Homo-oligomer: A and B are copies of this chain.
Amino acid sequence: MDMAKKKYNVAVLGATGMVGKEMMKVLEERKFPVNKFLPLASTRTAGTKVTFKGKKYTVEVAKPESFEGIDIGLFSAGAKISEMLAPEAVKRGTVVIDNTSFFRMDPNVPLVVPEVNAYDLKWHKGIIANPNCSTAQMLMAIKPIHDVAKIKRIVVSTYQSTSGWGKEAVEELFTQTKAVLAGKKAQVKILPKQIAFNVIPQIDSFTSNGYTKEEMKMVNETKKIMGDPSIQVTATTVRVPVVIGHSEAVNIETERKITAKQVREILSKFPTVKVMDDPEKGVYPTPVDCPGKDETFVGRIREDISIPNGIDMWIVSDNLRRGAATNAVIIAEKMIEEGLI
């Protein structure tokens, strides 16, 4: 980023969670201009120690007053806490970048993937929503194609890692895997069914139309972020026994014909997208390749043989990064750049 001379007081709310920790890492790596650093959490995990830029901090309980003098609040402690505390933080002059689902569909809140719709940041009223992880990475590949060929419809099936449901879900994956390997029964606690050596076609709860909330996020957030409600989306979101890294099999239908070669060229030029697409040489992304990386990896790009204007592709990204921490930090950087903070 273009480093501003000014430094900012930054609070990370949810500092003990997987996304919160990743936010701290990303702030460090990108040399974000942090003045005061304040790690916050709910009462459940406050008191824990965390390290930021080599310095130990005790995580404080998040309260309305915590935000006095805080310029930027990165929120990732659950929708209920965001609902309660984001307006309080805004009242105190904090710009809140919220990773939960709570404000995403609020017409007064921009929902932003910076590479896709940074222009929506300018009408913010204090809160900016970070999209759902699976939507964010998908749109990194969808946006540049849309600009050239206009996306009419998306059919997406996801292969989402357990870290998307938090660290308890990751622990459950490991505990169950060890149990199954030892010939024991897997105990189901956090996730809706056994995840070890299994896949679960349920992420979040069900809505009245038979889709899950996660699936409806992909439908609705896509329209809002792309600023085009005519883009039709259907999604099946599935949890797989992977630790970090969401994968997506994405089928698109476009208004105008676009070839696989053109898609590779367009995506190669798009910021933070990396095309890994030489399948005969074994070059395509898988989730174990992506942890700790900020790129969205795209491979298996091919012309859909079932319709005249279709493309199939395979999109993989670190869900804690592009889908959460990195996206939030890049939003903050963009806002500084454009004088919005």
**Which A positions have Cβ atoms within 8 angstroms of B?**
153-155, 157, 159, 173-174, 177-178, 181, 192-194, 197-202, 205-206, 209-211, 219, 232-234, 236, 238, 240-243, 247, 249, 251, 260, 279-280, 282, 284, 286-288, 299-307, 310, 312, 314
Assembled-state Cα–Cα distance A193/B178 (Å): 22
Cross-chain contact of A240 among B178, B193, B205, B240 (Cβ < 8 A)? B240
Cross-chain contact of A249 among B197, B201, B205, B310 (Cβ < 8 A)? B201
Contact partners of A197 in chain B: CB under 8 A: 173, 241-243, 287-288
Cross-chain contact of A280 among B159, B206, B310 (Cβ < 8 A)? B206
Contact partners of A206 in chain B: CB under 8 A: 279-280
Assembled-state Cα–Cα distance A158/B287 (Å): 16
Cross-chain contact of A286 among B154, B198, B211, B234 (Cβ < 8 A)? B198
**Are the CB atoms of B157 and A249 closer together than 8 Å?**
yes
Cross-chain contact of A153 among B210, B284, B307 (Cβ < 8 A)? B307
Assembled-state Cα–Cα distance A242/B240 (Å): 9
> Taking the nearest CB of chain B, how far is it from the CB of A167, in angstroms?
15
Contact partners of A200 in chain B: CB under 8 A: 286
**Are the CB atoms of B306 and A199 closer together than 8 Å?**
no
Contact status of A201 and B284, CB under 8 A, knowing A279-B210, A300-B236: yes
**Are the CB atoms of A302 and B210 closer together than 8 Å?**
yes
**Are the CB atoms of B251 and A155 closer together than 8 Å?**
yes
Assembled-state Cα–Cα distance A276/B288 (Å): 32
**Are the CB atoms of B249 and A305 closer together than 8 Å?**
no
**Are the CB atoms of A249 and B236 closer together than 8 Å?**
yes
Closest 10 CB pairs between A and B?
A210-B302, A157-B157, A232-B306, A236-B249, A157-B249, A234-B306, A198-B288, A155-B155, A201-B314, A234-B304
